[in-house]
Amino acid sequence: MKKNIDGTWPTPFSVIRAHPAPGQAAPAAKKNIVSRGAGAASSGVNTTVGATTGLVNTVGDSATSGINTGVNAATGVVGNGLDRLPGGAGKPVKHVTDNVGKTVTGASDNLYHTAGATTKGVQGTVSKTTGALSKGDVRGTVAGATSGVGNTVKGAGKGLGNTVGDGLGGVGKTVGGPVGGVVGNVGKGASNAVSGITGGLGDGVGKLGKGDVIGGVGSTLGGVGKGVGGLLSGVTGYGQNEGEKVDAPEGKKEGQFF
């Protein structure tokens, strides 16, 4: 390095960049090419996944609405015809058609919500994982992935539990009487079991991803215990989650077969 004319040493370029002269802005630092590429890839993946899950939800919504509209229209027409039969002869059959219609529409709604919870969980998992990956955060990547998986399991499990419980509950109402009451209680017990076990598993996976091994195992085992307890309490006629007695077998009523 040569000295200046006045005999001083020239100011290093790094110092000039760090301390620009008045009125001059420091040149912007160039981003690492790898970081920029990872960020662009992450954004592209998230956009694609978001569009795909949105399309799935839209199609599911349209299908569910179509099914429910058709079922309600059919049961309505059949019910009106049965009401016109003399002497109330159509009441037993209408009891069946009405409850079958409600069971079918309830099942389609629950399946739609289950699919929605699943797609939302998948989208959240991808978003959290790719976001952490683009920053080179390995620990955040694992935590984001496990958290997303846990939320997906919980959401889908709750939807499936409702589907099973409402489905068997609808069958129980259709059959009626003591047999129907037993079927309904089994449905509520099964719903408690599925929701409890998947809820505990989802919480456990999320905690394991954050490094909380003891908490993760505890949540998983707690969910299993809650699920088994909910199953037994439902079958025996007592709702664990609500803390109150559920439908107990009743005597035969009008329109019931058993």
Q: Using one digit for the tens of pLDDT, what is the confidence trace for 156-188?
A: 888 888 888 888 888 888 888 888 888 888 888
Please report the pLDDT score of residue 23 as a whole number. 56
Whose CA is closest to 106, among 56, 64, 77? 64
Condensed to tens digits (0 to 9), the pLDDT of residues 21-33 reads 555 555 555 555 5
In the block, residue with structure tokens 């683009």 = 134
Confidence of residue 6 (pLDDT cuts 50, 70, 90): low
**pLDDT averaged over the chain?**
75
Query: What's the confidence (pLDDT) of residue 160?
Result: 85
CA distance 98 to 164: 19
User: How does DSSP classify residue 86?
Assistant: G
d(CA 74, CA 63): 17
Tell me the C-alpha distance between 210 and 200, whole Å: 16
* Element counts in the chain: helices (H) and strands (E): 6, 2
Percent of the chain with pLDDT over 70: 74
State how far the Cα of 134 lies from the Cα of 145, in Å rounded to an integer.
14
- Rounded mean pLDDT of 40-49? 72
Q: Per-residue pLDDT for 87 more than 80? A: no
- CA contacts within 13 A on the Cβ side of 111: 16
C-alpha to C-alpha distance for 54 and 225, rounded to whole angstroms: 36
Cα–Cα distance list, 247 to 85, 163, 183, 210, 244 (Å): 32, 18, 10, 41, 10
How far is it, in rounded angstroms, from Cα 75 to Cα 26? 75
> Residue 127 contacts by C-beta under 8 Å, 6 or more apart in sequence?
46, 49, 144, 148
Dist CA 90 CA 14 (whole Å): 93
Share of the chain above pLDDT 90, in %: 0
